[in-house]
Each structure stands twice: as structure tokens, then as C-alpha cells.
Structure 1
Amino acid sequence: MVKYAFGLLALASIAFAQQPLYAQCGGVGWTGGTTCVSGAACTRLNDYYFQCLPGTGTPTTSTPGSTTTSGTPAPSSGLPFLGGVNMAGYDFSVATDGSFTGRGVNPPVAQFAHFASQGVNVFRIPFAWQLMTPTLSGTIDATFFARYDATVQVALSSGSNPYVILDLHNYARWNGGIIAQGGPTDAQFTSLWSQLAAKYKSNPKIMFGVMNEPHDLQSVPTWVSSVQAAVNAIRAAGATSQYILLPGSSWSSAQAFPTEAGPMLLKVTDPAGGTSKLIFDVHKYLDSDNSGTHADCTTSNVDVLTTLVAFLKANGNRQAILSETGGGNTSSCFTNLKAELAYVKANSGTLAGFTVWSAGAFDTTYILTVTPNADGTDQPLWTQAVKPNLP
């Protein structure tokens, strides 16, 4: 939880041990160490986050308000910093076992222009696998695809060329069976991505979200093989310029990534060449059990994201996107989510951006809603925590 720093705490923090490279060393609410190891300088990235970055000279002590700056490193992928929102609806009634009933709900189209006018440059649009292909390995359903694509096209035209993430929201499952682990085969899984990639191969603003929140996998290495199969299928369909989002395990956990799926996903290759268009897909909520089901936030996740950033930098300067995070319209979330997103923005060379959960077809009573009110005003969480950290 972010705490406000008082004078005595600030004085006491001077006695803390030196912070390692890439660790936090200051910012609003920071009560830990404020000096860096030799060879690193405590650098102000924004009011909420000072970080030990490589630098020459003696270690530097930070204080809130310091004007030391090193600028933001350019992303290795060439992506601009992405800030946006999930537009839920076509995923409604997908259960965590990958089962589905219903028809989905179209996200209100007016929301795209509303958010784009405020600086949003990425929309994540979830969908149920069973809506897109009602049978495994079957042809994409023309009626549903017309609905989905109409939404995608509205999103693409809603501002100055936003990116759109196509998010397969099935938890690595189809009706209870895990992909390549007792459920659908890799061939059945990749059939969907082959067809979608063929439809969108001419638009470089499309991003392919391979799968939402794989969890409770029997074999993480087997899942990584399934991810590689999806990447191969997308490229083979002619979609060679688009970014592909690679999900890990444990609900796409940002915390688990460096020790679970991350080391294996680093080895996924891109038939189009290089790895700059393969972005890791991570999630992290801010409530007490990381479930995204409580209105209050108990952490800013800066410690978790700091570990993730260090892992990615140490392994080829790879990038990840925080495609799900969020909180309730409560003071604890105004503070914590703002600090989290400020950290993401300050580390945009490694963290490509974020999409907050959620707007779209959710009404304004949903516990994590950022859906605009009927009069066009925004939720306080959006105005206080999200909007200040948009690109």
C-alpha cells in the first residue's frame, strides 16, 4: 500500500541500505532506501517513482521533487507508449474453465471516441472462442465476425490511429479442457488464429492477444509450445507486421512471470524475424488477493513490476504490456493505481503500456467500472488515476 511520507520517515530512510540497480529509490510515499549502489544514480522519473539507473559518478540521494532526469528509453520494439482500456462485452459469460453460454454484448461504440479524445491509443476487445468459431477447427462464424469487426473498425477509427488488441478470452481452455493438455489440440487452437490473422494481416495496428489468463496448467512447457504454435500460425497466414502478445501462466501473473513461464517464453521465436514484435502479456490487480473483485486497493504493485522490469532488461531488453489491471472507485485505488500506472509509464522502454479493466458493456455499478456515466462524465478512478498516465 502506498503510504504518505512524513518528515521522520524521510530522515529514517537515509539510514537504509543502498538500493540495487533498477530498484526504486524515492518518490511520493516512498519510505525505503534513497541511495543507489556504485555505478547507478537515483533518477526522478516522475513524482511517484525514482529509480536506480545506470550512471556514472557517486551514488545520488533522492528527495521528492528532485529534478534529476535521464529521459525515457526508447522501446526496443518501436511501439509508442500505449495507454488504454478494455472494452468488455463479447467475453460476457466466459467461465474460467473456458465454457461459454450466450451471445455476448456489443460494447457501446460511443465509448471509443470518448476515450480516444482523452489520449487513449489502445483498446483491448475480448471475445469468447465459442462465438468466433462455434466448433473447434470450424470456420469463423460470419454473423459474429461482422459484429466483432464492426467494433474493431470503430476502435481503429476513433482517434489518431489507436492499436486494437484482439483478446481471446478463454483461459487456455475450451469447455473445461486445457489446450494440448487433454483439451483442444494445438491444431484446433491455431486454426482460430490462422483465420483471424488472415482477416487482419493488412493492418499493422492490430495486435494479437494469444490467450487471456492461462491458469492451473498441467504443464507450463506444453503451454509455451502452444504459444509458439499460435505465433507460427499467425505469421504463416501472412500477418507478419503485427505485434503478438504472449501470455504466461498463473492467470498471466506479472508476479509469477520471471520464475514460471517467463524463462521459457523468452525462447519463443518469430518466423518474421527477431523478437521485437513478441510482447509478453501480463496482468496484476491491486486488491488484497489479486483477484480484481474488491473495491479497495492494498498495493501499488511497484515492487512486483520492478522485479519484472529487471528480469526483462536482463534478458535481452524485452517488453511486456500490462493488459489487465484496475481497481474500485475508492481513495485507496486512486492512490495506488495512479502510482502503478506512473511506474509503467516511467519504464515505457520495458513496459510497453497498459489497458485498464474495464469499460465497454459493463454498467456503472460494476465494482471495477471505468464506463462513462450517462451524462458523459468519467468515473473518478479514470480521472484521478488513469487519465494522468495516458500517453
Structure 2
Amino acid sequence: MRRNDKRLRVLGAAVLACAASSAGAAVEWAGVNLAGAEFNGTSFWPNGDEIRYFRNAGMNVVRVPFLWERLQPALSGALDATQLAALRRIVDDARAAGISVILDPHNYARYNGNVIGSAAVPRAAFTDFWNRLATAFRDDANVMFGLMNEPNNMPTEDWLSAANAGISGIRNAGAQQWILVPGNAWTGAHSWLQNWYGTPNGTVMSGVVDPLNHYAYELHQYFDGDYSGQSSWCNAVNGAAQLAAVTQWLRERGKRGFLGEFAGGANDDCRAAVTSALGHLAGNTDVWLGWTWWAAGPQWGEYIFTLEPTNNYTVDRPQMAWLRPFFASDQIFADGFQ
């Protein structure tokens, strides 16, 4: 009986996928995180072959995580020329392939372990970082700015102040692209309205200040027992249910969302969870801009969620088949992220 129930759950998820595809519903951007440059002691920047593989597969955006400290070795100092050139190469390769890039300082609202807003890392330093980085990429139409990866273990009010400081740095640089703004508590979609981490994101994050009003909220969602993304098994097979409350919150405020991280192991329960979640996004494109799977990159090896192909970029990972029905339309960045 349990096996039959599982088949029904997977079949239901597949029906959602087919319905979304046949109706022509698609988010604007669908892609993957190309991880590596966010690891200490290494610098695995994505390469052009990876970018072209995912573009040829049908994706049109990559999120590129990196350490803040890698790009800016000293607070309020110059950006490292070598690392900036590596990031520039990715943006240029992506443009040539017809794909867009999300720049993602992957620091959890910290610099060398010190939280933004502390005496060690004043908010002005975050403004300075984003002003420098946005200045470098303000003319790149295929770039979007992911403000910070997964702030956590801080008052939500403090994170809002830091976020607004970063936004001011971007806009003062003259950059007009989309900004992705996460919430506190690892920016979990399922916990957006909860208060176990302090004042809920749903209460505080309405206070985002962008003079261009050209931002979206970045949400992350995993489907294992504690929503941490550390298990290959998915307990929350109804992925849509984890997103429904934040979808309503966004719609009530006339705002947009972007699912910056989600994933599942190669098993039926995770396929049900993922396809349910992506079906929800496809059915609510007035709210959801897009998504990026976590993750790909050659340094992962046999990581439970890897989407990195094998056999010299010729063999897909199993999860790629789940994602294909939900790939974005081919509008890419004709008008850019601006």
C-alpha cells in the first residue's frame, strides 16, 4: 500500500508538470547554482563548458556563489583584480552563450565570521562592497545582484538594515538591474511567517527600500525533515505546500519572488517534492520570477544533489529530467535584467 501511495504521489507531480508545460506557463528564469568559489581555500570558478552545457540543456540563468572575502580581501578596500577578472570571464562567457548570471556573495551575512552590523563589520562596509561590485557590472544586462546568501542567527530587523545598506550601494553605483533580497533564518520559504528565529520575515522584510523598486525576494526551500538540505530523502513530498504561504504574502504586496536554492536526492519522494514545488511556481508566474537548483560544479563529486553531468558533459544527472518540463521560455535577456 505504501508503494502504491508513492506511485500516486509521483504520478500527481508528473500531472502537475505536464499541465504546467502544456498550458505554456513558465517562469522567466530557470537554471542552476554553479558552486565552488564560495569554499575556503579553493577557487573553483565555473568554466565556459559548464555554462554552455546548461544553456544547451535549456536553462537560461546560473547563480554563481563566491566568498565576499575572495572578492574583497580587506573591508572597504579594493576588489581583488584577479578574482574580479575571473568573475568577469564568467559573465562574458554567459553572455556569449545567451545565459544570465546572478552574483551571489555566499557569506550568511558575515565577513570573516563577523555579522554585518557588528563593530567588526559595520553596515557601511557592506554598502562599500556592493557599490564596488555593482560599479564593475552595472553595464552588464545579463547580470542580477543576489544581495547575500542565507542570513541567519541575527535579529531580522538587523538584517533588514544591512540589506537596505547593500541596496543603497548598488543604486548609488548607477546599477539598475534586479536585486534579489533574502530574509533571515536562511531565507526559508516555509518559515517566512514563523517567529522561532525572532520577528518573522513576513513582518520585517516589507521594509526593503529600493529607490527603483526593482527587487525580488530570494527564498530557499529544501524538503528533508528539517528543511536544511542535508539529506537525500524528502519528507515534505508536497513541495507546493512549503511555498504557498509566501506566495500569498508576495501577491498581497505586489512583490516578486525567486527560488534561489532547492533540491532533492535521486528518489521518487524527492521527485514528487520538486515537481510539486516547480508546478506551484509555474502556476504563479505573476509572483515567481524563476529558480536555480542547488547545485552543480566539478568539485562536488557524487554530492547528493549534484546536477553536474558526467562523461565529458554528455550524460545528464537523473534530476535533470525532473526539471526539463519547467524550463523557462526562450526570452533570456533580450532586455536584460533591467
Give the TM interval when normalised to the shorter protein: 0.7 to 0.9
CA distance in structure 1 between the aligned counterparts of 2:272 and 2:211, rounded to whole angstroms? 42
Contact 1:90–1:126, Cα closer than 8 Å, also in 2: yes
Aligned to 2:60: 121
1:131 aligns with 2:70: yes
1:263 aligns with 2:203: yes
Contact 2:101–2:142, Cα closer than 8 Å, also in 1: yes
Query: What is the Cα deviation at residue 287 of structure 1?
Result: 1.4
Query: What is the Cα deviation at residue 4 of structure 1?
Result: 5.3
Match of 1:155 among 75, 94, 107: 94
Query: What is the Cα deviation at residue 364 of structure 1?
Result: 4.0
Question: Alignment identity in percent?
Answer: 32
More helix by share: 2
Match of 2:108 among 171, 195, 205: 171
Contact 1:320–1:351, Cα closer than 8 Å, also in 2: yes
1:359 aligns with 2:296: yes
251 and 3 in structure 1: CA distance in 2 versus 1, 3 angstrom threshold: farther
Contact 2:102–2:143, Cα closer than 8 Å, also in 1: yes
Query: What is the Cα deviation at residue 81 of structure 1?
Result: 1.5
CA distance in structure 2 between the aligned counterparts of 1:252 and 1:179, rounded to whole angstroms? 16
Contact 1:179–1:185, Cα closer than 8 Å, also in 2: yes
SS at match of 2:260: strand
Contact 1:364–1:372, Cα closer than 8 Å, also in 2: no
Aligned to 1:222: 158
Letter in 1 for 2:15: D
Higher RCO, 1 vs 2 (CA within 8 Å, ≥6 residues apart): 2
Letter in 1 for 2:39: F
CA distance in structure 1 between the aligned counterparts of 2:102 and 2:203, rounded to whole angstroms? 24
SS at match of 2:93: helix
27 and 114 in structure 1: CA distance in 2 versus 1, 3 angstrom threshold: closer
CA distance in structure 2 between the aligned counterparts of 1:331 and 1:367, rounded to whole angstroms? 14
Aligned to 1:312: 250
Contact 1:86–1:123, Cα closer than 8 Å, also in 2: yes
Contact 2:239–2:275, Cα closer than 8 Å, also in 1: no
Equivalent runs, 1:81-120 vs 2, <5 Å: 81-93=28-40, 102-120=41-59
Letter in 1 for 2:296: A
158 and 152 in structure 1: CA distance in 2 versus 1, 3 angstrom threshold: same
CA distance in structure 2 between the aligned counterparts of 1:318 and 1:289, rounded to whole angstroms? 27
Equivalent runs, 1:1-391 vs 2, <5 Å: 3=5, 29=12, 47-48=15-16, 81-93=28-40, 102-159=41-98, 162-217=99-154, 219-239=155-175, 241-259=176-194, 260-272=200-212, 275=213, 277-299=214-236, 300-315=238-253, 317-375=254-312, 376-383=314-321, 385-391=322-328
Query: What is the Cα deviation at residue 190 of structure 1?
Result: 1.4
Which sits farther off after the overlay, 362-371 or 242-251? Answer: 362-371
CA distance in structure 2 between the aligned counterparts of 1:382 and 1:339, rounded to whole angstroms? 15
Query: What is the Cα deviation at residue 72 of structure 1?
Result: 5.4
SS at match of 1:89: coil
Letter in 1 for 2:189: A
SS at match of 1:297: coil
TM-score (norm 2): 0.87
SS at match of 2:278: helix
CA distance in structure 1 between the aligned counterparts of 2:5 and 2:242, rounded to whole angstroms? 17
Q: Which runs of 5+ in 2 are unaligned?
A: 195-199, 329-338
Q: Deviations over 1:220-272 (max 9, x none)?
A: 11210111111111000110x20000110111111222351233222222223
CA distance in structure 1 between the aligned counterparts of 2:259 and 2:301, rounded to whole angstroms? 23
182 and 331 in structure 1: CA distance in 2 versus 1, 3 angstrom threshold: farther
Letter in 1 for 2:162: S
- After superposition, the CA RMSD in angstroms is 2.7
SS at match of 1:263: helix
CA distance in structure 1 between the aligned counterparts of 2:295 and 2:7, rounded to whole angstroms? 31
Aligned to 2:331: none
SS at match of 1:47: helix
Letter in 1 for 2:233: D
27 and 364 in structure 1: CA distance in 2 versus 1, 3 angstrom threshold: closer
Q: Which runs of 5+ in 1 are unaligned?
A: 7-25, 31-45, 50-63, 74-79, 94-101
313 and 28 in structure 1: CA distance in 2 versus 1, 3 angstrom threshold: farther
SS at match of 1:352: strand
TM-score (norm 1): 0.75
Contact 1:357–1:369, Cα closer than 8 Å, also in 2: yes
Letter in 2 for 1:321: F
Letter in 2 for 1:319: R
SS at match of 1:114: helix
SS at match of 1:306: helix
Q: Deviations over 1:15-34 (max 9, x none)?
A: xxxxxxxxxxx99549xxxx
Contact 1:324–1:356, Cα closer than 8 Å, also in 2: yes
